Chains A and B, each alone.
Chain A
């Protein structure tokens, strides 16, 4: 057994806890999780059944933590998990799982399958079986500070542009303010107007805020690949900056996995509660709306539908903010079938969008077909969302299928119609 494989198996042994054991003990192979997974429903290939994606973890659980499994191991009746097996599973654990968590909502015995995928990834990454695309994103985040290699000068450039655009000052490293604003590299590169939108809204509503030159990146590739040590290092940058500046709140941007990383995994990675509150940008905007501080000068009249990002809504619990905020700014909202916590993934979450292999890309487009049907069922050509990764993944798929769908970010839409 190679050293890295041994390490991987040791990590798997370590991450198996009572919930995992209970989940594996409860599975009756009913296959219903497949019906909730876009990679199965759009391909009809049974290998994409979510519980099957966990087979290496189940085997380690069985061999190490059950009476019969240990007996079988002693008598040499069961083979240990091998490098070949983990390599073969890489496609199932990364390419065809976006950690959207829809399977965890349907399992009749109650298994939280995505909870286990997150754990299996720990062993996959340590044993060297994570896809290269995600490995590189992690490396760039650790070395440069951004999964896409965005450096501070590039952000400064965006800040200048947005200051010129909005005629507002964008504060940097300002201590004692209400909110530390984080960005995702995707926003810096593709949707810099998000920053200008925040500047406008905060100016109008009197929220004091700042960016940090030491921690601007909110996403956490360490979590997506499944290496908690690196994930902790990435979260720590934000925590240190927020504590240094003494802010009350840290604002997670329109990015699903960033929210999951800071709000829910963050304190657990650091091993302590935060002295500040982590809020998603929509939570803050909805708070302003309810306080009457987010008034619109006019409404967006084009009919729109809404895509709920998995990590923010189904897995993150921001269930009530999106629709009222959207209704605040649009006059014709047409919900798509399976909305809110039942929404279908864009196909590119959980690091999947950073896997560049042609087969993985083709699979993403295939999985997008369910989203395509949802959009078509809504009957409109404009879709609003609030996750930059969802947005870029869907924009690529919309082009691929030559659809007419236009995508908009909710924060920018609100800012564009904000009362002067």
Chain B
């Protein structure tokens, strides 16, 4: 299989398989988690402004008092990485064209040099966060193979995308194929590992806000 054949495969059957596994996996996992249900809380609720699941979905995006000082890399690195990743994934013109081709939806993107800059910053933030995971005793203690593997699976698409755009290391066609392949790997594992927090984070925050909100505590 040469580069062109590989690119054709990853753009065709490969992409279909990845998206299929991602969608079915996501539906399965959502069912697996939320179909467990929960018992109704019978205690008479205490109403309080700002204490609800919906409030917590938004409020939890901000650091708790004092924690920014205690773990600055987690927050600063976390913000840069998440926002950077979202910009690169959703506002890079070729990505928008891909979505348009699949769904017909389209929106304005950012100029390529801006995306280049954001990518470099995001990659740097990820490296710093990897360093922090190894360096910080609590994170190192909690970390398993999954934490490092998912880091790599998230890092690779960013890196290979950047290398492809910059025509570095491999010929463009080959690097683009590797880039798409790395995204497909990410899509396939996402529902089955901690990366699924991208979906469940909303449910978790809502539950926490609801459980404590019924007692009148905005969390």
Contact = CB atoms under 8 A, between A and B. Distances in A.
Q: Do A and B truly interact?
A: yes
Interface residues on B, range: 35 or more
Contacts of A317: 46, 48, 51, 212, 215-217
B48 A106 contact: no
A305 interface: no
A74 interface: no
A224 B147 CA distance: 33
Contact of B217 (A26, A68, A341): A341
Chain A residues touching B, range: 35 or more
Interface string B80-119: 0000000000000000000000000000000000000000
Contacts of B5: none
Contacts of A341: 217, 219
B194 A27 contact: yes
A169 interface: no
Nearest to B205: A110
A18 B200 contact: no
A323 interface: no
A87 B151 CA distance: 33
Contact of B200 (A22, A67, A267): A22
B67 A273 contact: no
A106 B37 CA distance: 24
Nearest to B53: A110
A350 B33 CA distance: 29
Interface string A16-57: 111111110111111110111000100010110101100000
15 contacts: A18-B35, A18-B38, A32-B71, A35-B70, A47-B141, A67-B29, A112-B212, A264-B43, A266-B43, A268-B42, A272-B42, A273-B42, A315-B217, A338-B66, A341-B217
Top-10 shortest CB links A-B: A110-B205, A317-B216, A46-B141, A31-B138, A317-B215, A106-B64, A17-B38, A110-B204, A19-B207, A112-B208
Interface of B: 28-29, 32-39, 41-44, 46, 48, 51, 56-57, 60-61, 63-67, 70-71, 74, 78, 136-144, 147, 192, 194, 196-197, 200-201, 203-209, 211-212, 215-217, 219
